[in-house]
A = this chain, B = another copy of it.
């Protein structure tokens, strides 16, 4: 098989070998970036237990070269985390949620659509789930931010929207926050279905998200009123 191949391949191998060709002898920073981006895709696909040799192969380089750029696999993985998570959170989103010059429905749709552009992403979702299973505090920290910067503000806007007491006179109850976790779950589980369980996207995201929000806002008031009433009773 492949008889006489070797001679003709010898030339070709230099430009296209393995999955992607990796133009030999790159400047340091270019090669470093190539490794990181390759590592992101590779670990998102195969998990962090996957072998560095396989990563190198996919990059079209040899395995020891990785160690010229990163002192250990662990450090490389750390870099992958940073690259994927740190710069995908846009602080403007926080202001968007509490901008009372617009209807709440518009704000929430705008926020979750914008957020989906950053987060409905193969690499993001899988690396987030992988690191969650590994019990990295990264996830806990991230979800704490979600809670503080997204869910609780939404709770407060909901209170305001319905003319209910603000959170100073009546602190938020866990069940109120849990209610909004429901919205967030509907939103995030869509990405999990697609990127973890490989189910197809059957409804365009923007449409599905708008439905999520409308449904949430229509459904919330009764639950919310009940919760607040119960809490007011408990406190007397």
Contact = CB atoms under 8 A, between A and B. Distances in A.
A188 B190 contact: no
Contacts of A133: 47, 126, 129-130, 133, 196
Interface string A198-236: 110011000110011011111111110001000000000
B211 A223 contact: yes
Interface centre among A139, A185, A198, A202, by most chain B C-beta atoms within 10 angstroms, is A185
A52 to B, nearest CB: 14
Given A185-B190, A218-B223, A178 B199 contact: no
B132 A179 contact: no
A174 B132 CA distance: 30
* Copies of this protein chain in the complex: 2
A132 B222 CA distance: 36
Interface in A171-195: 174-175, 177-179, 181-190, 192-193
A159 to B, nearest CB: 16
Interface string A155-183: 00000000000000000001101110111
Contact of A212 (B140, B182, B192, B198): B182
A222 B220 CA distance: 13
Contact of A140 (B126, B186, B199, B216): B199
Interface of A: 47, 49, 126, 129-130, 132-133, 135, 139-140, 143, 174-175, 177-179, 181-190, 192-193, 196-199, 202-203, 207-208, 211-212, 214-223, 227
25 contacts: A47-B47, A132-B196, A132-B197, A133-B196, A135-B198, A140-B198, A140-B199, A174-B202, A175-B207, A175-B208, A181-B189, A181-B190, A182-B186, A185-B189, A188-B189, A211-B223, A214-B219, A214-B222, A214-B223, A215-B216, A215-B222, A217-B219, A218-B218, A218-B221, A219-B220
